[in-house]
A and B are shown apart, each in its own frame.
Chain A
Amino acid sequence: MTDTPQKTSSGGLNKAHVAQFMARQGILVAFILFIIVFTMANPRFLAVDNILGVIRSSTIIGVMALGVTFVVISGNLDLSVGSMMSFSTIVVLDLHDKLGPLLAIPAMFGMTMCLGAFIGFLVGYLRLNSLIVTLGMLSAIHGLTLTYSGGKNMDIADKEGTWFDVFGQGVVFGLPVPILIFGLLALVLGLLLARTPFGRQVYAVGGNGTAATFSGIRRARVVFLCYLMSSFCVAFAGMLQASRSMGSQNTVGQGLELEVLAAVILGGASLMGGSGAIYKTVIGVLILGFIQNGLLLVGLEFYVQFVVTWVIIILAVWLDVAAKRGKLWSPIA
């Protein structure tokens, strides 16, 4: 069985493995260097309470990034999560005072997931371009939120008399509840994506949709479910946000779709679809969170982070592409 081509190809594979490994490690190495530099600039950077603080403040972006990971691997985009999160935050705050938290939460999940189902229908079954659909929904849902709230901000009237703050502010066994929720969701969704038939079908649809159809996979349904998953995560994020602040502006999620996408890309998911993983997205979320925190700690204004974030993402994407072709530049333009 062992003939020459096999020998050569396994040799080639080893090299390719090393190159791929380096590319992935490249981001990690840069991240570690970054941590060292910032720790020297401000020792507080690595203090436990700062680390927990960073993770905690990353959870809302993180929870949404988990859902968007499904969408991106299936070969689509979701730019509507930011404005959808504003919607779910406002809705749950409003219903909290009308129905009580026990009913408000499932009602908000239902309403948010209706939006996800609608997007899933448009992109999955009608095969409309996901960039256009979700960009449109970004604006449409924003309008919906303003209509719902009558343009006003929402507040929970009796902040002391409710247990609703537990999701955003509670602490269990010394760990903040939002971190626990994020970790638990990441675990469950990670297993769903990596270990179940549905997860495999998501990769197949994103990797080659036609071949997936030819393999008897219901492509439209898989895409539909990915958007439903995304909206489910957004509903969680909205609940965390509302519970943390117990009141909110109706634009609270504005611009977050880009940070979410940034975290997913930093984790190494390809926008072409077919690759990525939940654990990678979690790493992407943490890298993003620590970088933004580090910039604040060394005394830079918070708006610097918008620039730095995108410089880092472009670097990450470049490294990824460079590793795939084995060169930093393309020899042929």
Chain B
Amino acid sequence: MTEQKPVLRLEGIVKTFPGVRALDGVDFDVRPGEVHALMGENGAGKSTLMKVLAGMHQPNEGRILIDDKPVVMTNPIAAKENGVILIHQELSLAEEMTVAENVFLGELPRKRFGLVDWKTLDDRVGTILKQLNCDFGPRTRIGSLSIAKKQMCEIARALTHSAKVVVFDEPTASLTDSEKVVLFDIIKDLQKDGVGIIYISHRMEETFKITDRISVLRDGAYRGTLNTAETTEDEVTHLMIGRTLDTSNGTNVSNRGEVKLSVRNLSCGNLFHDISFDVHAGEIVGFYGLVGAGRTEIAETLFGLRRHSHGQIMLDGKEVTINSPVEAIANGISLVPESRKEQGLVLGMNCRDNMTLPQISDLTQGPFVSGGAEVDIYKDYQKRLEIKAPSWRSIVGNLSGGNQQKIVIGKWLSMKPKVLIVDEPTRGIDVGSKSEIHNLLRELAGQGYAIIVISSEMPEVLRVSDRIVAMYSGRIMRTFSAAEVTEDSLIHAISGLGGTDAAA
């Protein structure tokens, strides 16, 4: 806790948009060599603050100081020149170009006549990639890399500048556990070099693992800074949402009924093999495993988006053939997909139209859609799921992530499914809404729905499931009951280490 002079200080930042006071006098600072977490629910103002810092928004009041000197960030280039580098949540790489070209995009080294100096470029990028322990070269095409590796390229891009402050915005959202370890090592290296790091994440666990201090925003206002070593998750959560959350574990009272869905020996190419499981009415079966373990692919097969090569799917004891989402829906299977924005919602449409989309053909009066019936369905589920939207006419793209996700869940619940599959129910959603959605899923199970939850977050799987299916590389390794599961045994099973008892 040496009281160093901050490398970056934001003082009394106010930013208003028409009708909204997005930032209301926010103070924030970063010391060299520290990792400072910025936390808050969606819409709390984190992104706006970072956009002010990066010169994408101009603050109405307040100032930015770097090394105690006031600076004006007129645009992202000015921010870069002042040593502030943003690593975006949404990657901004040119897919068809090479790693090297992307890393130096806009500032490629030149030779005479303005030609690109490929040799220098390869050398410099090669050095940086080695520094980052990357297993790909500067000439690799970006499009051929995984999301995690693309993120490495973004980081490499940051390292080409003499960065004083690096902002990581939800960097682990799409990383596997082993990739996270690499990222955290890189952050440590940056720390050693005296770079100040701003770390934005919804994930408590990793925030507590790698940060030195945590600052919290709520409703655009600064709520305080805590030393990570001296605080608890509850205290941070309390600051973020202004109340305490019920996140108790193990309250899953199973009142399971008859078998709704049976899957027997299901296989699909090299994606998954010999998958068998049952889902009963009134229970949640959690599917846990690493990215690429085949969980989403099973969901997509059950929903008719993929064809399986072997095996049977039985609903209520009868074998069914499902070759398209239309057939899946007709058989009573609903899927809340992994990616809400790409697969779940038509963002430009209003709340009501999104919610009734799968059943629109049935909501007719004569040849026309019955607007009244639609509004009834929307209002019903808006109440039940506590969706906060100004009206059914509100464009879905303007809602927060949590409310968007509730629209998708409402859309599928209103179909009265026999089996509800929820893939990554809370990805990119703030803690408050997360816990609401967890409670909601439990409630639905209580009402007798048969539910499959697929998740990459262990606390989530542990919290909602009655049984947990552990997958590794396209196979089911083990099925746990909520009573017997432990974190260690679960991690063991999804790492493909075989056996169940070998201590971790």
Contacts and interface: CB of A to CB of B under 8 A. Distances in A.
B358 A8 contact: no
B43 A5 contact: yes
A316 interface: no
Contacts of B329: 216
Interface stretch (A144-152, A165-173, A202-210, A288-296): A202-210
A213 to B, nearest CB: 6
| Most chain B Cβ neighbours within 10 Å, of A4, A9, A196 | A9
Interface stretch (A10-18, A61-69, A107-115, A228-236): A10-18
B343 A203 contact: no
Interface in B314-352: 324-326, 328-329, 335, 337, 342-349
Contacts of B347: 207-208
A268 interface: no
A332 B75 contact: yes
A214 B343 contact: yes
| Interface size classification for chain A | 35 or more
Interface stretch (B16-24, B123-131, B141-149, B173-181): B16-24
B219 A4 contact: yes
B362 to A, nearest CB: 8
Contact of A216 (B21, B342, B358, B388): B358
Interface string A309-333: 0000000000000000010000110
Interface stretch (B157-165, B364-372, B477-485): B364-372
B398 interface: yes
| Most chain B Cβ neighbours within 10 Å, of A6, A10, A13 | A13
A217 interface: yes
B353 A200 contact: yes
A200 B360 contact: yes
B357 interface: yes
A196 B347 CA distance: 20
Given A9-B398, A216-B328, A275 B76 contact: no
A11 B368 contact: no
Given A12-B17, A204-B357, A207-B349, A197 B364 contact: yes
A332 B398 contact: no
A10 B390 contact: yes
Contact of B326 (A3, A13, A218): A218
A208 to B, nearest CB: 4
A197 B360 contact: yes
Contact of B19 (A14, A216, A217): A14
B335 A211 contact: no
Nearest to A19: B18
B427 interface: no
A8 B335 CA distance: 33
B56 A9 contact: no
B411 interface: yes
A184 interface: no
A98 interface: no
B361 interface: yes
A3 B326 CA distance: 39
A13 B391 CA distance: 11
Interface in B383-419: 388, 390, 394, 398, 400, 411
Nearest to B22: A8
A271 to B, nearest CB: 14
Contacts of B328: 216
Contacts of B76: 332
B20 A11 contact: yes
A8 B349 contact: no
A211 B388 CA distance: 22
Contacts of B337: 214
Given A213-B325, A214-B335, A332-B56, A197 B361 contact: yes
Nearest to A273: B348
| Interface size classification for chain B | 35 or more
A204 B349 contact: yes
Contacts, number: 106
Contact of A208 (B19, B346, B361, B368): B346
B390 A15 contact: no
A215 interface: yes
Nearest to B342: A210
Interface string A213-229: 11111100000000000
A181 interface: no
Given A12-B19, A197-B360, A200-B357, A215 B219 contact: no
Nearest to B353: A200
A4 B337 CA distance: 30
Contacts of B398: 9, 13
A189 B455 CA distance: 45
A234 B17 CA distance: 47
Contacts of B344: 211, 214
A26 to B, nearest CB: 18
B274 to A, nearest CB: 27
Given A10-B390, A195-B369, A216 B325 contact: yes
A109 to B, nearest CB: 22
A196 B368 contact: yes
A1 interface: yes
A5 B19 contact: no
A215 B19 contact: no
Given A15-B18, A208-B342, A6 B360 contact: no
A212 B324 CA distance: 13
A207 B347 CA distance: 7
A212 B43 contact: no
Given A13-B394, A207-B349, A214-B337, A196 B43 contact: no
A215 B358 contact: yes
B326 A216 contact: yes
A12 B20 contact: yes
Interface string B29-56: 0000000000000010000000000001
Contacts of B75: 331-332
A211 to B, nearest CB: 5
A132 interface: no
B343 A195 contact: no
Q: Which 9 A-B pairs have the closest CB atoms?
A: A11-B19, A15-B18, A207-B346, A12-B19, A195-B368, A197-B361, A216-B329, A208-B346, A215-B357
24 contacts: A3-B388, A6-B390, A9-B20, A11-B18, A13-B394, A15-B18, A196-B368, A197-B360, A197-B369, A200-B353, A204-B349, A207-B346, A207-B347, A208-B342, A208-B345, A211-B342, A211-B345, A211-B346, A216-B328, A216-B329, A217-B357, A218-B324, A274-B349, A332-B56
Given A9-B390, A274-B346, 5 more contacts: A6-B388, A13-B390, A200-B360, A211-B344, A216-B325
